[in-house]
Amino acid sequence: MTTSRPARVFPVPPEPADVPAPLPEPDAADLRLETVLGALSDPLRLRVVRKLLLESEAFDHPCGWFGLDRPKSSLTHHFKALREAGVTRQRQYGLERRSQVRVADLEARFPGLLALVADWTPPSG
């Protein structure tokens, strides 16, 4: 039995010309639910993905854009974990890595998951 539920659509900014190639990441067909859920089971990572979903102003964003008060090495680790799980795509622009959410791949494989992230509220305090 099924009922109907609205599906959120997240706008994806257009890809500029000449963007660098993505850093290594799993193919869409190789995304694993347990791995994606593990990558999202952290408030900082949920905050990153939610901000990209709801507030993206460009095709992809460097870690400074997120305004996260954490050491650079910690942020590098979290952004890499999101990419290696297949949640985000990262590209290297000179010394800077920028991230975007793999909206189409995740919606195709795990429909509705990104809506849960978008609706997440950070823990209080």
Per CB under 8 A, residues contacting its own copies are 1-9, 32-35, 37-38, 40-43, 46, 110-113, 115-117, 120, 123
Indicate the residue among 23 and 113 with the shorter CB distance to its own copies: 113
What is the closest distance, in whole angstroms, from the C-beta atom of residue 123 to its own copies in the complex?
Answer: 7
**Rounded least distance, CB 100 to its own copies, Å:** 19
Q: How far is CA 52 from the centre of its chain?
A: 7
Long-range contacts of 68-73 (CB under 8 A, 24+ apart): 68/44, 70/44
Nearer to its own copies, 18 or 34 (CB): 34
Amino acid residing at 88: T
82 vs 97, which CB is nearer to its own copies?
82
Q: How far is the CB of 87 from its own copies (least distance, A)?
A: 11
Q: Which two tokens stand for residue 95?
A: 């010394």
- Residues 14 and 36: their CA atoms lie apart, in Å, by 25
Starting at the edge strand found earlier in the chain, the sheet holding 61-62 runs 61-62, 96-101, 88-93
Q: How many residues does the chain have?
A: 125
What's the closest the beta carbon of residue 10 comes to its own copies, in angstroms? 9
Q: Which C-beta is closer to its own copies: that of 45 or that of 97?
A: 45
